[in-house]
Amino acid sequence: MKSFQKELKRRRTFGIISHPDAGKTTLTEKLLLFGGAIQEAGAVKSNKIKKGATSDFMEIERQRGISVATSVLAFEYKNIKINILDTPGHKDFAEDTFRTLTAVDSVIVVIDVAKGVEEQTEKLVEVCRMRNIPMIVFINKMDREGKDAFELLDEIEQKLNLTVTPLSYPIGMGYDFKGIYNIWEKNVNLFTGDPKKDIEDTIEISDLTSEELDELIGSKAADNLREELELAQGVYPEFDKEAYLEGRLQPVFFGSALNNFGVRELLDCFINIAPTPRPKESEERLVKPDEDKFTGFVFKIHANMDPKHRDRLAFVKIVSGKFERNKAYLHVRHNKNLKFSSPNAFFAEKKEIVDVSYPGDIVGLHDTGNFKIGDTLTEGENLNYRGIPSFSPEHFRYINNADPMKSKQLAKGVDQLMDEGVAQLFTLELNGRKIIGTVGALQFEVIQYRLEHEYGAKCTYENLNVYKATWVEAEDEKSEEFKDFKRVKAKFLAKDKKGQLVFLADSQFSLQMTQDKYRSIKFHFTSEF
Ligand code: GDP
């Protein structure tokens, strides 16, 4: 057996996704408490954007600080090394979350029992579903009045297009919430509303017909539970680990993160069924985690908060082999060997320099501008992990230089911020004007502020009417049709940072018209097709 097999087998790298306010931060914190990684509640900072704080730049910096601190939270539980990757819930940072999802091996989806499936949940789950990422659903806030369990499971199936099966089942809800029956472990956990309650305090009920259940929760609730469980068994498929791992079946748990209720059940099941680091496709071949040689890719870049230290931290997910300190690795895009003397590993609340990391782990590498999101590192093999696609931005503005003496600084700043993935840059074919595209309006302020404070450059924006950016793929670049398209639409054509041709449609109607007119040209909403 290879030396690192044991390490590989005990790793679980996942992300928690939810609509803001469903309870992601609270759940994260409770999971860390179980791992003994933190001692008290309140230790995990929410990276939520505070309402109305969009023009408060201290808020942006505070945000960035938290987002470094919570990027990766690692802890051990029952000898399993768990890496939680932070996924911002705010829609302006959705792109960040999409990229992080390329580095997780599974996800937990948190849903608010009262609000049900919300908009961000839908979008994020769709991305996970497309990639067959195994998902566990946690229905949170059972201490509050909410939707009936069946109704909610139905809604999840309908709106999220999932096939669910409950592995725990609530006994009442809100004011009447009595606890949960753990279908997975066949026991009852009674709810006392005391978050400090002994978490191991569950009562074995292997036989649902036993009178003990009536004594515990009262005959009415017991009969209700029996009935509902029977019904659930008829409606939902039996749990099947293979199906879960292939993304075909999603187990569901109920609980209350705030009260630390139902969280242990979730975690115990999670370490049992969640996948160890999964194989990953590259342009060349499928790479397996247990291969001897190291490979990994950059999924996130974070600039130093201190403007005096311009270095950045590149977050690398290890896909295969061991990553060792001070060993030379190939930066494939630059065809250059690089050594890292102080790779960071992440723990619940701190980062530390480590000598060796294993598949599933994330290492933070100090970078002076070598890395771009999506870059691959290997032990010499010319291998490229499938890029991380860019999606069409929602907002577009011209960016202008406001200080002619600082045009170099501006160019460098814009370049680096785009590498970090803060926004996308398009250059108009016709006149070379630069356009910034972002997912949320907030990013324009972030860019302006950071250009000034980190690069000493000033910019202004000018409005521009673009509906969507679409990546252009021509069947035949020499065809008359394509030439005609380029001539007629010259005003609307730009290149992205990679030099790919992009059509900036000014309305849905004009995009439709263009698609109808040029049948041999495809217009893609993402940069990878
Ligand atoms: P996030 O935006 O998904 O990270 O959500 P938070 O973890 O910050 O939670 C949002 C709000 O819901 C906070 O006020 C929490 O205290 C509250 N909350 C979280 N879990 C529960 C729960 O189980 N029950 C109740 N009643 N409130 C909860």
* Residue 476 labelled as part of a binding site: no
Give the number of the atom of ligand 1 that is nearest the alpha carbon of residue 26.
7
Ligand 1 centroid – CA 141 distance (Å): 7
Q: What percent of the chain has pLDDT over 70?
A: 89
Domains of the chain, earliest start first: 10-171+238-273 (3.40.50.300), 280-378 (3.40.50.300), 395-524 (3.30.70.3280)
SS3 of 339-390: ECCCCEEECCCCEEECCEECCCCEEEEEECCCCCCCCEEECCCCCCECCCCC
User: In whole numbers, what is the pLDDT of the chain averaged over residues?
Assistant: 88
**Structure tokens belonging to residue 273:** 């069924």
Give the number of the atom of ligand 1 that is nearest the alpha carbon of residue 261.
23
Rounded to two decimals, what is the model's pTM? Answer: 0.86
Question: pLDDT by residue (tens digit) across 33-69?
Answer: 887 766 666 666 665 555 554 455 566 666 666 666 6
pLDDT confidence of residue 496 = 94
* Residue 224 labelled as part of a binding site: no
Ligand 1 centroid – CA 45 distance (Å): 13
Closest CA to 447 of 431, 466, 434: 434
Question: pLDDT by residue (tens digit) across 143-160?
Answer: 999 999 999 999 999 999
Which residue is it, tokens 């979730």? 266
- Pocket lined around ligand 1, Cβ cut-off 6 Å: 18, 20-26, 46, 48, 89, 140-141, 143-144, 256-259
Q: What percent of the chain has pLDDT over 90?
A: 62
Q: Atom 25 of ligand 1 has which residue's CA nearest to it?
A: 141
Ligand 1 centroid – CA 9 distance (Å): 32
Question: pLDDT by residue (tens digit) across 205-226?
Answer: 777 788 888 888 888 889 999 9
pLDDT confidence of residue 201 = 63
Alpha-carbon gap, residue 263 to 189, rounded angstroms: 11
Question: pLDDT by residue (tens digit) across 20-40?
Answer: 899 998 999 899 888 776 666
pLDDT confidence of residue 53 = 46
Which residue is it, tokens 């469980």? 229
Give the number of the atom of ligand 1 that is nearest the alpha carbon of residue 144.
26
Burial class (CB in 10 A: 0-12, 13-18, 19+), 139: buried
Mean pLDDT of 447-465: 92
**Structure tokens belonging to residue 432:** 């070379």
Between the alpha carbon of residue 467 and those of residues 165, 329, 502, 508, the distances in Å are 40, 42, 13, 7
pLDDT confidence of residue 59 = 64
The CA-based angle 346-351-356, given to 5 degrees, is: 60
In this predicted model, which residue has the larger pLDDT, 211 or 487? 487
* Highest averaged pLDDT of the listed ranges 14-18, 304-308, 524-528: 14-18
Question: pLDDT by residue (tens digit) across 79-100?
Answer: 999 999 988 777 777 788 888 9
pLDDT confidence of residue 54 = 45
Q: Is the pLDDT of residue 195 over 70?
A: no
Between the alpha carbon of residue 368 and those of residues 116, 431, 442, the distances in Å are 44, 31, 26
Q: Atom 26 of ligand 1 has which residue's CA nearest to it?
A: 141
Ligand 1 centroid – CA 26 distance (Å): 6
pLDDT confidence of residue 95 = 80
pLDDT confidence of residue 379 = 96
Q: Atom 19 of ligand 1 has which residue's CA nearest to it?
A: 23
pLDDT confidence of residue 210 = 81
Question: pLDDT by residue (tens digit) across 223-263?
Answer: 999 999 999 989 999 999 999 999 999 999 999 999 888 99
Q: Is the pLDDT of residue 323 over 90?
A: yes
Alpha-carbon gap, residue 275 to 272, rounded angstroms: 9
pLDDT confidence of residue 395 = 94
Question: pLDDT by residue (tens digit) across 267-311?
Answer: 999 999 999 999 999 999 999 999 999 999 999 988 776 666 667
Question: pLDDT by residue (tens digit) across 342-368?
Answer: 998 887 767 788 999 999 999 999 988
Q: Atom 10 of ligand 1 has which residue's CA nearest to it?
A: 21
Q: Is the pLDDT of residue 328 over 60?
A: yes
Alpha-carbon gap, residue 210 to 468, rounded angstroms: 61
**Structure tokens belonging to residue 244:** 């879960």
Q: Is the pLDDT of residue 197 over 60?
A: no
Alpha-carbon gap, residue 518 to 209, rounded angstroms: 67
Phi, psi of 11 (to 5 degrees): -105, 140
Closest CA to 408 of 446, 447, 451: 451
Provide the sign of the torsion angle of the four alpha carbons 216, 221, 227, 232, taken in this order. negative
Residues sharing a CB contact under 8 Å with residue 262, sequence separation 6 or more, in sequence order: 138, 142, 168, 180, 189, 253, 254, 255, 256
Alpha-carbon gap, residue 175 to 155, rounded angstroms: 23
